[in-house]
Homo-oligomer: A and B are copies of this chain.
Amino acid sequence: MITENIIGYQSSSLSRRYIDATDPATMTTLPEAFAVATAEETDMVAEKAFKAWRLYRNISGAQRAAFLNEIANGIEALSSELVTRIMQETAYPEARVIVERTRTCAQLRMFAHEAERGKWNEQTIDAAIPDRSPSPRPELRKRMIAVGPVVVFGSSNFPLAYSTAGGDVASALAVGCPVIVKAHDSHLGTNALVAEVILGAARKTGMPDGVFSSLNGDSMHTGKQLVQHPLIAAVGFTGSLKGGRALFDLGQQRPIPIPVFAEMGSVNPIFIFPGKIKENVQALATQLVSSMTMTAGQFCTKPGILIALQDPHTEQLISELKAALEKVPEASLLNEGIFKSFISGVSEMKAENEVMVMRDFYSSGNLRTSPVLATVPADSFLSNPRLHHEVFGPFSIIVLCRDIAQIIAVATTLEGQLTASIQATNEEMDTLRSLVEILIEKAGRIVFNGVPTGVEVCEAMTHGGPYPASTDYRFTAVGHHAVYRWLRPVTFQNFPPAGLSV
């Protein structure tokens, strides 16, 4: 395990200061200490990445594909060493880690395929019209160019799939952008293991020095230096609204502003209609509870708000939800910061007017918690914006509405969302056009008779939504189209073939 900062093919620990990783299940310090990056090391990675960009953006898609495939192979080869470390750093059960590893490697191979296929790089061509009057048209060819070095801030909840070799990194590497990862404080060892795999793959496939780097550091300090560095071209971030907005502001306030793609989560409302409850209340409750509590509710697509009519069907659903939640065991949250935010978030929600607790908080110690469920009448919800915010972790609230008009009113007052879902029969859906219209304004993905968790990695995915779900809803953080975040068009006018081949 490389415990130093990784500056291209070089390791470095100029600060001689070290930070530890913690096992959240036991709150004990894990083996190995990790060197904190200095400002000088930040300069070094940015300069190496910039130099690497000039080479890396021009190598073939097949070569970049070989690099990404080799990373996937390397992650699989690490086998139990990696799985164990992730379990230690996240308190995730083994099955959850294995699923994430599968997803991560599939994602790397998908972006490898994209790198080779180069669909994103297809040229748009307007042929010359030499005899056009009054003036001839020159030939114009537009193609996509890698924007430059990309800084990635990994997520707390996806130590593999949205971190060191995750979606942001793989999509940037696929199209020719070198990457600098700011290691997440919650999984420094996982980062070190995966970074070593990436370096090995880069060496084996002959990638330029600086195509990948990774710094450990005091989160905002090192992160700020990276985002403000003049040689950095773009930033990917997955995490909290507070952290994402801070990085976004830093990026926009630079002398030369750069795009900061921050995916900041949301409450992912599910609108539930009586016909659907009647169909099979138990199946619905099981599906909802699974989505609310998987990975201890620590998904950016966790449904934090359910909206339903105040009627006997909903009462029945609530009692089924309560019953299902009773069976969900306590689970450890990812780190002390998340645990404390969860506790204070739940306490604040419980203290709000007319909020009723259906399933209360329980903890047998350390960072463990039960899931929490509450209800609130729509009148209170509509007049209280504090109830609209996300509580990260296993907390959801049911908003009880007088009628369909009040359901629409609730939808209209919601903030921007990654997702919004409708649970309804086909007959009910036929009457819900105005709700769908509101949800189009609010969310990046709209789900019918399903739950928002389980984000497909595919071409038609949109993972991103109106602010505060993300800082740029024109792009997706998941799926094939994620590569467009790291590309810009350049037009070549009247170019000879030799000039175009660069």
Contacts and interface: CB of A to CB of B under 8 A. Distances in A.
A257 interface: yes
Nearest to A433: B502
Given A460-B125, A471-B257, A474-B259, A490 B445 contact: yes
A140 B493 contact: no
Contact of A440 (B441, B446, B472, B502): B502
A432 B432 CA distance: 61
B445 A491 contact: yes
A258 to B, nearest CB: 9
Contact of A142 (B461, B471, B499): B461
Contact of A492 (B446, B467, B496): B446
A255 to B, nearest CB: 9
Contact of A502 (B137, B257, B436, B450): B436
A26 interface: no
Contact of A448 (B248, B449, B493): B493
A164 to B, nearest CB: 25
A456 B490 contact: no
Contact of A426 (B138, B142, B496): B496
Interface in A474-493: 474, 476, 481, 484, 487-493
Given A440-B502, A454-B135, A493-B450, A126 B460 contact: yes
Contacts of A426: 496, 498
The oligomer's copy count stands at 2
A499 B429 contact: yes
A437 B494 contact: no
A49 B413 CA distance: 19
A444 interface: yes
B458 A140 contact: yes
A471 B468 CA distance: 21
For the complex of A and B, the 9 pairs showing the least CB-CB separation, nearest first, are: A140-B460, A462-B491, A252-B252, A142-B460, A445-B491, A126-B458, A447-B493, A126-B460, A124-B460
Interface of A: 54, 58, 123-126, 135, 137-138, 140-142, 145, 148, 248-249, 252-253, 256-257, 259, 416, 422, 426, 429-430, 432-433, 436-437, 440-441, 443-450, 454, 456, 458-462, 466-468, 471-474, 476, 481, 484, 487-496, 498-499, 502
Given A135-B454, A433-B498, 4 more contacts: A141-B460, A142-B459, A450-B493, A462-B489
17 contacts: A125-B460, A126-B458, A126-B460, A138-B450, A140-B458, A142-B481, A148-B441, A248-B257, A256-B468, A257-B467, A257-B471, A426-B496, A444-B491, A460-B491, A461-B491, A473-B488, A481-B489
